[in-house]
Structure 1
Amino acid sequence: MAPHNIRWGIMATGKIANVFVKDLLINPNLRGVSDISHSVVAVSSSSSKDRAEKFISSVGISTHCTAYGSYNDLVADANVDVIYVATPHSHHFQNVMLALEAGKHVLCEKAFTVNAAQTKILCETAKKKNLFLMEAVWTRYLPISIQVRELIKSGEIGEVLRVIADTSFGDPVEEAWGTDHRMVKMDLAGGCLLDLGIYSLTWVFQALYHTLPRNQRKPPSAVAAHMTLYHLTGADEATTMLLSFPTSTPSNSAHPGQSQGVAMTHLRVSTDPDQKNTAGPAVRIQGTKGEIQLYGHSFRPGSYRIIYNEEGKEVKEVQCPIPANGHGMFFEADEVARCLCDKKLESESMPWEESIVVMEAMDEVRRQGGLIYPEKIESTVYPLQV
């Protein structure tokens, strides 16, 4: 039986789109996938058709692929099954609404939107129109993430009571980012929270929320945050979050009470200064019987260790390389393809409800830190020129 092919339209031609498309072009057989396949049939730049054509050439799309100079033309293409939205966070709400209103399924880069109110409207619109929609939190679909979630659910390290996760890059911010780079520009919803902090929160939620049966998941009972704003633009350059959850995993019967997550992100100091894991794990998942430590960047850890409390029980070390020299984004694309084949509107690994809960947590973090983006970016009005 031939694999089911999904035809992608790519909205935007920046760095993340480049990485995603290159992963899509890798033969699925090289990662043991034979039921689905991917093809890129259209690419759009908001600035010019020429830019889209250069993107198609540079990433090596060899099959027929149409270049567009407007997003309106992209979402109107009848050959496109699903749109990958790779624009800045500031534009996600408007861009996803455009695709949904045109009847297209959507995979939208994280952070899903700027605020929870926008995310709720996108999910309501997708449900109303019977369309698939997913936030592209690609880390959740990596084999290492799936393994760690299964270890937690099986009780390998007992009840998980605390998660500490850091996603930080040490840069001379003034020289590296200035005032116009998207990482620090308020008009593009810049700052480390939405771009990097989402990965730290991903591990907190994967371990302390998602591992529970769906009917037992409860949002954080308390969120506390400290934020440092970049003096040149007002975007956040450092954010630390403490989240308390009303339950622990996999069972709260032995120790009824809360579990805690510490999620950190910073633009001036690095999780891994020498890029050799000398500084230790980026993520620590701590349970009553031991802990799981993840090494490498939090968004794409390469290995993990299990350290047990029990005397004489040896440390387990597991390597989890990405197959076929890929970046790892093809795993989330495979999930989209399978959901479309099964006529699902959402992914069980990144359901709408959970995207909303995470966005609500980030709303509270921004409220406490005094981080407010321009009114047009925060708006739930559609259509609106941003």
Structure 2
Amino acid sequence: MSMARNDPWKVNWGIMATGGIAKSFTKDLLIDPASRGAADILHIVSAVASSSSKVRVEQFIAELGIPSPCAAYDSYEDLARDPNVDIIYIATPHSHHFQNTMLALEHGKHVLCEKPFTVNAAQAKILVETARKKGLFLMEAVWTRCMPLCVQIRDLVRAGEIGEVLRVTADTSVGSDLEKDWSLDHRMVNMELAGGALLDLGIYSLTWAFQILYHTLHQDRAPPSAISSQMIKYPTTGADESTSILLEFPRSTPGGKFKSHAVATTSIRVSIDPDEKGTAGPSIRIQGTDGEIQVYGYAFRPTKYKIIPRKIAGQPVKDVKEVDAVFPGTGRGMYWEADEAARCLRAGERESAYMPLSESLAIMEVMDEVRRQGGLKYPESIESTQYPLQL
């Protein structure tokens, strides 16, 4: 039976892992897409898997109220083999992304893999090559890229709203007490799980640098021409607890007349919102020759932005424009990346224009260099490009 013209495009999801990020993503999948103007899409959670316990999966399904039928697996391989699954959302620790994504791709599944894509660029390149060879969709789940607020900001930059953009500063810091809040096996500080501020949080600071100073270029996108960084490590485990990065890009946007700089910072101990009341200033500043865009809230889920025009002598002062983020259906905002993946599948596209694979690779290469400069090495097994490899 052919599908009616107005029927939504149905996508059957498999959820790999049952931790906090998997819960947040799945809750968003279950929100009616019509509430955010996406009635052309229908997300179905067809299967969930845990590597530890089928009981844990059954609890996950029950807690979230996932409609039947939804298969419960205690094996990732069983999930990858399920013929009712179109695409797998990989929510395992960073250390396992390469192995888990390869497993899904080898079984012919499209993949939306949580950030960071992998532990290193060499692993990411293999994933990209494998997906392209097999004709499968692959996307790094940097949910921020698909949020309407961020799409608007990129469009403003492209349109020259603040002139030629010469500098971006972005901070992603969470203000935790490492010794008190987290045990040594917590994924944020555990070297066996590729823990640390850079891969988990710093990637969001870098994504702001890239989505403004790299992604908005219509052509000739060029990676940073210079990278410098400083890193402070958590003495107990060796993971980085604070990392600061300075990038130089060979051209600015949208004009490309000058070079541009980005400062990307991340820390576990300090916070961008110390009083948790929004009193602090913007977490991101996008500075151009005609003004700046200030972005507020955590870099991964911004809550508003301001456009502040430059004062020009002899001309009327333009008003500051402020735009708030809206998250329909009381969602976290992860549904927008799921919608993007679904629409790519419907169109037969094998990567997203919002988060191109080439850009994921470029960011991974920057993080490789920052880790090299900081002497941050993870265990050989999780840095390995060998597949399959039992971790």
Letter in 1 for 2:293: I
Q: Which consecutive residues of structure 2, in runs of 5 or more, have no partner in the other structure?
A: 1-5
Question: Pick from 94, 105, 122: which aligns with 1:117?
Answer: 122
1:45-83: CA deviation from partner (whole Å, max 9, x where unpaired)? 000111111111111102310100000100000000000
Q: Distance in 2 between matches of 1:276 and 1:360?
A: 36
Within 5 Å, give how 1:371-386 maps onto structure 2: 371-386=376-391
| Deviation, structure 1 residue 227 | 0.3
Letter matched to residue 371 of structure 1: L
Query: Displacement, 1:16?
Result: 0.2
Give the match for residue 225 of structure 2. Answer: 221
After superposition, where does 1:204-219 map in structure 2 within 5 Å?
Answer: 204-213=209-218, 215-219=219-223
Matched residue, 1:352: 357
Q: Which residue pairs with 1:16 in the alignment?
A: 21
Question: What's the offset of the Cα at 1:277?
Answer: 2.0
Could you report, residue by residue, the CA deviation over 1:235-274 in whole angstroms, capped at 9, with x for unpaired residues?
000000001000100012xxx3310000000011001101
1:246 equivalent in structure 2 = 250
Partner residue, 2:183 = 178
Aligned partner of 1:377: which letter?
Answer: I
In the other structure, the counterpart of 2:268 is 267
In the other structure, the counterpart of 2:101 is 96
State how far apart, in whole Å, the 2-side matches of 1:331 and 1:178 are: 33
- The Cα shift of 1:180 comes to 1.1
Aligned amino acid, residue 9 of structure 1:
G
CA distance in 2, matches of 1:257, 1:302: 30
Kindly provide the CA deviation profile for residues 189-210 of structure 1, in whole angstroms up to 9, marking residues without a partner as x: 0001010001000100011000
Tell me the alpha carbon deviations over residues 6-43 of structure 1, each in whole angstroms, 9 at most, x when there is no partner.
00000000000000000000000000112111000100
Identical aligned pairs, as a percentage? 64
1:145 is paired with a residue of what secondary structure? helix
Q: Which deviates the most, 271-280 or 74-83?
A: 271-280
Which residue identity does 2:228 align to in structure 1? A
1:233 counterpart (225, 233, 237): 237
Which residue is equivalent to 2:3?
none
Task: Read off the aligned partner of 1:265 and give its amino acid letter.
Answer: T
Letter in 2 for 1:375: E
Counterpart residue identity of residue 75, structure 1: A
Q: CA deviation at 1:319?
A: 1.0
Alignment of 1:1-386 (within 5 A): 1-213=6-218, 215-252=219-256, 256-311=257-312, 312-386=317-391
The Cα of 1:175 is off from its aligned counterpart by: 1.2
Partners of 2:150 and 2:270 lie apart in 1 by 25
Q: Give the Å deviation of 1:380.
A: 0.2
Give CA-to-partner distance per residue, 1:106-132, whole Å, 9 cap, x none: 000000000000000000000000100
What is the RMSD computed on CA atoms of the aligned residues? 0.7
Which runs of structure 1 show a deviation greater than 2 angstroms over 4 or more consecutive aligned residues? none
Question: Which whole-Å deviations, capped at 9, do the CAs of 1:283-334 have from their partners, x for residues lacking one?
Answer: 0000000000011111111111011113511111111121111100000000
Partners of 1:292 and 1:25 in 2: CA distance: 33
2: distance between equivalents of 1:33 and 1:246?
Answer: 38
Q: In terms of mean alpha carbon deviation, does 256-265 or 182-191 score higher?
A: 256-265
**Aligned-partner Cα distance in 1 for 2:323–2:9:** 33
Unaligned runs of 5+ in 1: none
In the alignment, the residues of structure 2 paired with residue 192 and residue 268 of structure 1 have an alpha-carbon distance, to the nearest angstrom, of 10
TM-score (norm 1): 0.98
Does the 8 Å CA contact 2:166/2:258 hold for their aligned counterparts?
A: no
Q: Distance in 2 between matches of 1:25 and 1:233?
A: 38
- SS of the aligned residue for 2:366 comes to helix
Instruction: Name the count of aligned residue pairs.
Output: 382
- Give the whole-Å Cα distance in 1 for the aligned partners of 2:379 and 2:64: 34
Report the residue type matching 2:281 in the other structure: G
SS in 2 for 1:200: helix
Paired amino acid for 2:236: L
